[in-house]
Amino acid sequence: MSPGRARQGDLFSAAALPERAAASPLPPPLLRQQLLDWQGRLSAHQAPLFSAAGGPDTPGGASQALQGQLFTPAEAAADPTALAAAFDPLSLRAQSLSFWRWPSAPQRGAAIYLVLDRPEGSATPLVLYVGETGCADRRWKGEHDCKIYLAAYSEALGKAGLATAPSIRFWCDVPEAIRARRALEQALIRRWLPPFNKESRERWVTPFTAELA
pLDDT digits (tens, 9 = 90+) for 14-70: 444 444 444 555 566 778 998 999 999 999 999 999 988 765 444 334 444 444 444
Above 80 in pLDDT, residue 152? yes
R_g of the chain computed on alpha carbons: 18
Which of 169, 189, 174, 199 lies closest to 77 in space, CA to CA? 174
Q: Residue 69 burial by CB count (10 A; 0-12/13-18/19+): exposed, middle or buried?
A: exposed
**Per-residue model confidence (pLDDT) at position 151:** 85
Q: Residue 112 burial by CB count (10 A; 0-12/13-18/19+): exposed, middle or buried?
A: buried
Above 90 in pLDDT, residue 78? no
Alpha helices per DSSP H over the chain: 3-6, 13-16, 18-23, 32-52, 62-66, 73-78, 80-86, 145-159, 178-192
**Per-residue model confidence (pLDDT) at position 96:** 84
Give residue-wise pLDDT tens across range 154-190.
888 999 999 999 999 999 989 999 999 999 999 999 9
**Per-residue model confidence (pLDDT) at position 100:** 61
Alpha helices per DSSP H over 53-104: 62-66, 73-78, 80-86
- Please, which contacts does 200-207 make with residues 24 or more away whose CB atoms are closer than 8 Å? 201/9, 201/10, 201/11, 202/8, 202/9, 204/38, 204/41, 204/42, 205/8, 206/11, 206/38, 207/30, 207/31, 207/34, 207/35, 207/38
Single pTM value for the model: 0.75
